[in-house]
Structure 1
């Protein structure tokens, strides 16, 4: 897959995936196109050699795998992990606020979001709606308003003279977005707006809305930035970028070696869910695929957990260890933390460096400052749950957890090339 095609596909994927449910639906379509077969956890599975399959749980997490041409117990499984969720603002169950003729929504902060960048943006709504059809059947549908329908206006500096030196954000009182003006006595329900959107998008006329999980998102499209187009800016780069890289790597691998991609939901809030990395999803799939050979297969396996890394910010150089400041467009970042916030060890890092060096591709290393707390990923959770050798790696970026993030236009394709080779190479550790 050429560099230009890779990046164009990335932009399309980011724009099509405003929520984890949309991201998984987009990945499903790509897997279907590549000849992978859907599996249902409620049914029996009959797996064939040299074939591709995928399983979806909750509509927001996905495991896709190639069975390979040989015995997984003898070859091991090459695995790549990422997560589908990103910090955002989610609509509350009873969200409607009416103030001075304005129709607003109460929102809850999901994950560790940078809140200030959410102000003064053209926002839309997307997510999953559970409804009852006229026939009485209950079903889920995806909705995406696409157009700007909401706005969180800043308070003018004339009314807050300390705004540039001392402004904090109260999530309860400062973040409810304005959706429209509603005259006194207006009885519009949020569910009424959802019903109209569902009918417009799907043709389904709901008898009633039973529930929803909806997020606000920035309508500005992903795109190239920089005088020479050397950067890519987008929402949800953390961690849809890694989902896209992992998906394309699995699709483009030879298929001879057993290989797997897992994209979990709920990483940004601790991964403790039925479909999160602390849940049983991946383990259940491996049990059904590998059966009694699971223990021997995993002993020969390796996981690469791909989640973006902190690029050294030129305005805040002191926030990095002086010897471990990753630069955008200088290669993916091997993430190390000896307190096991990252799962990398010398052996897993060595394999990545070996492959990357053989391909003539750059790589970097990140260690957090010793006087700062370190973030984490699905890497340690998966390593602990499966007992598998794991590497944490990621593309360096700016603005992590902001409504708009920035990466180098070279680094995603670099990681893709290494992961393709990793997924089709026997692991020798």
Structure 2
């Protein structure tokens, strides 16, 4: 898949299939199955870990390629990403009447750009769980909208837009003739409303991803943070052949709300997987700790491209641009895990892949976000570097990246996994 347009077409299809972390995990599972990866059940003993394997936990996926036996120089080569994005999440007892409208009661998940949820046709997607514990993925088409107040009714709206998250961010669902939203979701799942237990369901923007620009050099979509790392990482994994080290792809959930969940980077998901993989390769105790010491991790998460309308918010010298390659993310306070050792590891991977690259560092007066990188480094003691595709409008429902950068990231990750 050398043609950037072919890569981006496949990327757009992946995004369209993945409106939530649960759908992303399902889409990844299908691609892994097709590539010959064997699904493992966490609840059963693993009788074999060599070869191409994976398992799913909610909206998270861990996949790996392991040799038949471990050499004295074998370590883990890990790429960590996250599958979730900021959104609006359905509350319990979600439907209420207001001025003749049916509205849905929702709460804010993560830190979205609130105004980007206004005046867009939205759908619902996620999972519902029956009273007996069965999970079903659900997804509607465009069924709701959060409408802004006209400037005739609020003359100050273009001077300072504020949105009350409890009373002004509730989607309008209909005028009373629609099916109850829980009944609608149960119908999507093929179950009776009496079987319904609980829902992890989110609003999602239904507008399709699109290339744009004079030469289709740009790409706009929801969830580029962080599917712009998930899809390139997954495709890189599918291309890896006969690696020396144990290659691991860990797609965590819940990064946008702190990662402290059973499927998040702050939980035991990755450490448990590494322990079980090592045990299956007959590596334990001190030998396992030595194997960790020979390991490394790339935390791949969207980076910031410079916004020409707000240059004062960026470092005056280091200003990443689109289509100039993935960015190495650096922060003195270790909000990113990059240091000189891991940065050099990343540069070697880019050079081996023939990939152009750049850097991102924050303006000293502007606090930066963080990633799963420092969490992974802290939990496992594995040297970690933070990188990502530069994007604009991060945390909007319509983010933007260069149309060449995701494929460049994918090539660099493949080179890293192959031992660069």
TM-score category of the 2 structures, normalised to the smaller one: over 0.9
Q: How far has the Cα of 1:47 moved from its partner?
A: 1.9
Q: How far has the Cα of 1:363 moved from its partner?
A: 0.6
Distance 1:321 1:256 in 2: 39
Taking structure 1 as reference, are residues 64 and 359 closer, same or farther at Cα in structure 2, changes over 3 Å only? Answer: closer
1:3-45: per-residue Cα shift (whole Å, max 9, x none)?
3332121111000000000000000000000111111111010
Distance 1:378 1:233 in 2: 24
TM-score by length of structure 2 reads 0.95
SS at match of 2:307: coil
Q: What RMSD, in angstroms, separates the aligned Cα atoms of the two structures? A: 1.5
- Runs of 4+ aligned structure 1 residues displaced above 6 Å come to none
Distance 2:374 2:268 in 1: 15
Distance 1:80 1:72 in 2: 21
Which residue of structure 1 lines up, in the alignment, with residue 187 of structure 2? 196
Is it true that 1:391 corresponds to 2:393 in the alignment? no
Which residue of structure 2 lines up, in the alignment, with residue 280 of structure 1? 268
SS at match of 1:159: coil
Taking structure 1 as reference, are residues 358 and 288 closer, same or farther at Cα in structure 2, changes over 3 Å only? Answer: closer
Which residue of structure 1 lines up, in the alignment, with residue 258 of structure 2? 270
Find the partner of 1:255 among 242, 250, 263.
242
Which residue of structure 1 lines up, in the alignment, with residue 92 of structure 2? 93
Taking structure 1 as reference, are residues 66 and 72 closer, same or farther at Cα in structure 2, changes over 3 Å only? Answer: farther
What is the 5 A alignment of 1:214-229? 214-229=201-216
What is the 5 A alignment of 1:67-82? 67-71=66-70, 74-82=73-81
Taking structure 1 as reference, are residues 56 and 159 closer, same or farther at Cα in structure 2, changes over 3 Å only? Answer: same
Alignment size in residue pairs:
412
Which residue of structure 1 lines up, in the alignment, with residue 32 of structure 2? 31
What is the 5 A alignment of 1:291-330? 291=279, 292=284, 293-330=287-324
1:80-127: per-residue Cα shift (whole Å, max 9, x none)?
000010000111112112012210001101001000011110111100
Distance 2:61 2:352 in 1: 31
Distance 1:93 1:321 in 2: 43
Asked whether the 8 Å contact 1:335–1:367 carries over to 2, the reply is yes
Asked whether the 8 Å contact 1:81–1:262 carries over to 2, the reply is yes
Distance 1:73 1:241 in 2: 35
Find the partner of 2:224 among 237, 242, 265.
237
Asked whether the 8 Å contact 2:223–2:397 carries over to 1, the reply is yes
Asked whether the 8 Å contact 2:15–2:209 carries over to 1, the reply is yes
Distance 1:359 1:381 in 2: 27
What is the 5 A alignment of 1:52-67? 52-57=52-57, 59-67=58-66
TM-score by length of structure 1 reads 0.93
5+ residue gaps, structure 2: none
Distance 2:297 2:133 in 1: 38
Distance 2:240 2:270 in 1: 21
SS at match of 2:73: helix
Distance 1:274 1:124 in 2: 27
Which residue of structure 1 lines up, in the alignment, with residue 367 of structure 2? 373
Q: How far has the Cα of 1:75 moved from its partner?
A: 1.6
Which residue of structure 2 lines up, in the alignment, with residue 143 of structure 1? 138
Q: How far has the Cα of 1:69 moved from its partner?
A: 4.8
Distance 1:265 1:163 in 2: 36
Taking structure 1 as reference, are residues 153 and 75 closer, same or farther at Cα in structure 2, changes over 3 Å only? Answer: same
Taking structure 1 as reference, are residues 214 and 48 closer, same or farther at Cα in structure 2, changes over 3 Å only? Answer: closer
Which residue of structure 2 lines up, in the alignment, with residue 416 of structure 1? 410
Distance 2:268 2:7 in 1: 32
Of residues 38-47 and 25-34 in structure 1, the stretch that sits farther from structure 2 once superposed is: 38-47
Which residue of structure 2 lines up, in the alignment, with residue 156 of structure 1? 150
Distance 1:195 1:358 in 2: 50
Asked whether the 8 Å contact 1:286–1:294 carries over to 2, the reply is no
